[in-house]
Amino acid sequence: MMLVCTDPEPDPEPSNHPDVEVWVAENDAAGRRLQGAQLAPASAATTVRVRKGQLLVSDGPFAEVKEMIVGFDLLECADLDEAIEVARAHPMAWAGRIELRPFADFEQ
C-alpha cells in the first residue's frame, strides 16, 4: 500500500516534479498498480469512534497533523526496492511524502 501524503517542506523546484498522469499510465501498463485514488480534502473527513459502547462522530481528521493522507495506490511489487523506485517517480514524493507499507503477512 502506497499512502500519498502532504509535507510541510516540499522539494523547492516544482518544475522538476514528475507528471502524475505519466506515472499512472506507466504503472498501469506494467500491471503494477492495482488500484488508486485521490481523497477529498481533510475538511470532508469524518472521524468515528466507539468508547464504552457509545458512538462518537466528529468532523475532521482524527489528529492535527501536518502530513495528511491525500490519496493511495495499491501496488504489486516484488520487494521494497522496487516499491521505492515506483514511489520516487510519483510527483507527491517531491511535493509531499510517500509512505510504503506492505500488507500484513498472516502466513508467517
Nearer to another protein, 21 or 105 (CB): 105
The piece of 15-23, 31-39, 65-73, 82-90 that touches another protein (CB under 8 A) is 82-90
Nearer to another protein, 83 or 92 (CB): 83
CA 88 to chain centre: 13
Single residue of 31, 52, 79, 106 touching another protein by CB under 8 A: 79
Beta strands in 1-108 (DSSP E): 2-6, 33-38, 46-51, 54-59, 69-75, 96-100
Which three cell numbers mark 14? 516544482
- Name the segment binding another protein (CB under 8 A); options: 9-17, 48-56, 61-69, 77-85: 77-85
Spatial separation of the C-alpha atoms in residues 32 and 16, rounded to whole Å: 24
78 makes contact with another protein (CB under 8 A)? yes
Contacts of 46 (CB under 8 A, 6+ apart): 57, 58, 59, 60
Q: Give dist(CA 55, CA 44) in Å, integer.
A: 19
The reply to whether 3 sits near another protein by the rule CB under 8 A is: no
Contact segment (CB under 8 A) with another protein among 1-9, 26-34, 56-64, 80-88 equals 80-88
Residues contributing to the site for another protein (CB under 8 A): 77-85, 100, 102, 105, 108
